[in-house]
Amino acid sequence: MRLVFGGLAVLLFFGAALLSATPALPENPVPRAGDVGAARLLAIKTYIAVRNENPAPLTVRAAELESAARLAAHGIDGLRSRTRIAPDALILEGSLPLATRTWLNVIAKVTPDAAGRPRLTVRAGSVPLPPWLAEPAADLALRFLWEGAGPAPTFAAMLERIGIADGEVSAVLDVPLDLTRSVRKLGGPVSPVTAMAARATFRAMTARPREPVPLIMLYREAFRTPVAAEIASGRMIGIAAAL
C-alpha cells in the first residue's frame, strides 16, 4: 500500500511540475505577406542540404526562421509556438493544450559548445532537462518517429556542428530523408474549414491571367479583411500551392 501511495505521490508531483493551467505563449500570429516566400526559400535550402548523402552546411537567417515558424504553427491544432535566435542559442518554444484542460509548456535550446558541437537543453513545465538527459530523450523520440530501414539517426549524428552569430544559425546537417517523411505525419489532417479555404484560394489564384503579379497583391486579395486563424491558414496553403 505504501508503494501505491508513493507512486501516486510521484505521479502527482511530476504532473504538477510538468503541466500548467495556462499557456506560456500567446496565440499564434496570422502569417504575414512575406512569410510564404521566406519559408519557401528556407524549405528549398533545407531540402538541398537534406537530400545530400553526406553532411551538408545550412545557414538560416532569423527572418526566415520566424516566417517558417509562423506558417508551421498553424499545422497542429491548438499548438502555440515560437522560434527565435538568441545571441548564443537557437530557442524553440511551444505550448500544447491537453485533454485535461491543462497545458504542456516546453522550451528547447540548442547551444554550441567551445568546439561547435550542439548541446540540447529542455525545460518541460518547471522540470529542467540538462544535455545528458535531453539528448537521450531526443534520441528516443527519433526512434519513435523513424520508419526507415536500419537504425534510427541520433541527435548528435543529425546535427554535427552549429554556430550562431549576427542573427544567423549555421549548421552542418546529416538528416535522412526518411525522417522528414515521418515528421510530416505529425501534423495530421487539417480541419475542414482550413481545407475549404485552401481550395477556394487556390482556385482563385490559378484562375488569374498568366502574367507576372507582385506577391504582395496576392496577399492583399486573400486578406482584404481580418479572418479567423483556421481560414488564414487555409488561404496561406492555397497561395503556397498556387505559387
Q: What is the pLDDT of residue 14?
A: 43
Q: What is the pLDDT of residue 121?
A: 93
Cell for 174? Answer: 546529416
* Angle value at C-alpha 227, between 226 and 232, nearest 5 degrees: 120
- Helix 215-222 and helix 229-242: axis angle, to 10°? 150
Q: What is the pLDDT of residue 216?
A: 58
Positive or negative, the CA dihedral 28, 162, 127, 179 is positive
Q: What is the pLDDT of residue 107?
A: 92
pTM to 2 decimal places: 0.67
Question: What are the residue ranges in the chain where pLDDT is below 70?
Answer: 1-17, 33, 74-77, 99-100, 180-191, 205-227, 229-230, 233, 237, 239-243
- Nearest Cα neighbor of 155 from 130, 138, 172, 169 is 138
- Residue ranges with strand state E in 79-189: 80-86, 89-97, 103-112, 118-124, 127-129, 159-165, 168-173
Q: What is the pLDDT of residue 219?
A: 63
Do residues 162 and 110 touch, judged by C-beta distance below 8 A? yes
In this structure, what are the phi and psi dihedrals at residue 176, rounded to the nearest 5 degrees?
-65, 140
- 56-111 confidence digits (pLDDT tens): 888 888 888 888 887 777 666 678 888 889 888 999 998 888 766 788 899 999 99
Do residues 145 and 182 touch, judged by C-beta distance below 8 A? yes
